[in-house]
Amino acid sequence: MRRPGIRSLAGGAAGIVVGVIGGIAVTSSSVASGPTPAVPVLDAVHVSPLLTRPGEPVTLRYAIVCAPRDDGQPCEGSGSVYVRAGQTGLFRQLRLKRGAESRQGRYYAELPSEIASSRDGFSYYAVLRDGTGGVATTLPAGGEAAPQRSFPLGDATEVDLGVHAFGADRAPDKRVVAAPWGSEPGEAGLAGSRELGFGGPSSFDVAPDGTVAVLDQVNGRVEFWSHGGVKATNVGVSGGLADFALEPGGTMHVLEPPSRTSPAPVLRSFRGDGSPRWAQRLSDRTWAKLAVGPAGPIVQQQPSEQWLPVVGRGAVFSRGAQAAGGRPGRPFANGREVLVERVGAGELRLAELAGNEVRRSWRIASVTALGEVQLAEPYGDRLVVVMKTYTDDRSDYAALMLDRGGVAAEFAVESLEWAESAPLARFRLAGSSLYRLGSTRTGLFVDRFDLEVSR
């Protein structure tokens, strides 16, 4: 090694000085300017009057959600609703009015009675602006190709549930899965802490042979529980509270929530061995429920409040194609859609649709408040509905078997939900049984309730 000369030492010292100054300058400028503030996209929210009663006046209400103003005031939004009587034909423009109150949505349009009371219902979409003139959004995103559709409830079967009697829950016919918390085979992953709350396996599904598949996203796997024991298949998921659906051929779908690094929800599809098939961002920003429709996975999304297909004709849909396929109800293999609308504190409206025609409908009223509808699916000539009923400190699930005469059978299921799961993933209907995902302080379970048993 050669001894450094004076020129080398001087050059090195100069390099250090210039380098330090340069490094500080680079990072200082990053800190000083910070990331450039971005204007958040214009958002909007609206809940459609999906099923209307005869003579019921209809006001369409929208919340236009703008970037926050420096003066703290709400934006001066504007917009129009394009509406038509029935489900086809030309739309007519109605300008939205701006109200004094924003609790239900500040912007509104009252539908003319000839549209609101049309025997074929009505359909519409809105174009909303933030008031600055530059930003607009269409709701639902499918616009005139996939508008909001509303139908007359018609001669609905009326059901009065009265006051719910807590504590009269039905015991399950069988506990088909019982897994203590942990990461070993046969255990179920638990995430979180006492301070932040706990999340357990977030969803499940049931195969035609009765095998129960539990998405154990905490451990990055799906556990298959059958009479032969439990087998696990690893899947590449983020670990967030995801929904899950299993196709009869073994294909698995995992609907991921937004996360710290992926602000939009993503549907991931896996082969039976856990290898990834594809992943696709959803059209909307928020999802409520994943299901498998006649053509593949479908997702109930917000703000469109529609069921959007993610796959069709053998291809994975772009966001635009998803939006263009939006429908108001969940489609089933019998060719019908089931429409669900929770109204107020204690009312539920349901309808079975063939094409754009209501075939059967129900209006359920309850003195005890009704919560979310976990499941509404055809079962033979009946419709099985599972929904929460609650007070401020108690809750149960109410399971109803509906037919044209009203409630053919019903029972209550205790809500045992110590760990959080995906929002509408607590129940599955498979064969002639209803399955429920639950948890306690000690672990996860899946219970089976047979629907053919007379009691």
DSSP assignment of 116-156, as one string?
HT-TT-EEEEEEEE-SSSS-EEEESTTGGGS-EEEEE--SP
Which one, 2 or 227, has the nearer CB to other proteins? 2
Supply the minimum distance, in Å, between the C-beta of residue 130 and other proteins.
9
**Min CB(129)–other proteins separation in Å:** 14
Residue 238's contacts (CB-CB under 8 Å, 6 or more residues apart) are: 217, 256, 259, 262
How far apart (Å, rounded) are the C-alpha atoms in residues 363 and 158?
5
Minimum separation from the CB atom of position 41 to other proteins (A): 9
Residue whose CB is less far from other proteins, 105 or 297: 105
| Residue closer to other proteins (CB basis): 176 or 338 | 338
Q: How far is residue 140 from each of residues 39, 191, 283, 327, 354, measured CA to CA in Å?
A: 21, 35, 10, 10, 22
Q: Which is nearer to other proteins, 224 or 414 (CB)?
A: 414
Beta bridge partners of 96: none
The CB-of-303 to other proteins minimum distance in angstroms stands at 8
d(CA 299, CA 253): 11
**CB 306, min distance to other proteins, A:** 9
Angle at the Cα of 31 (from 26 to 34), degrees rounded to 5? 115
Nearer to other proteins, 77 or 325 (CB): 77
Min. distance of Cβ 15 from other proteins in angstroms? 3
What is the torsional sign of CA 228, 230, 231, 237?
Answer: positive
Q: Is the Cβ–Cβ distance between 417 and 371 less than 8 Å?
A: no
Q: Which of 229, 212, 334, 319 is nearest to 267 (CA)?
A: 319
Provide φ and ψ at 226, rounded to 5°. Answer: -145, -175
Q: How far apart are CA 314 and CA 134, in angstroms?
A: 38
User: Which is nearer to other proteins, 42 or 213 (by Cβ)?
Assistant: 42
Query: How far apart are CB 455 and other proteins at their closest, in Å?
Result: 26
Residue 327 Cβ, how far from other proteins at the closest point, in Å? 13
Which residue, 369 or 401, has its beta carbon nearer to other proteins? 369
> How many residues can be counted in the chain?
455
Comparing CB distances to other proteins, the nearer of 157 and 302 is: 302
Closest CA to 316 of 292, 294, 297: 297
The C-alpha atoms of residue 322 and residue 283 are separated, in whole angstroms, by 6
- Report in angstroms how near the CB of residue 313 gets to other proteins at its nearest: 27
Q: Which is nearer to other proteins, 22 or 335 (CB)?
A: 22
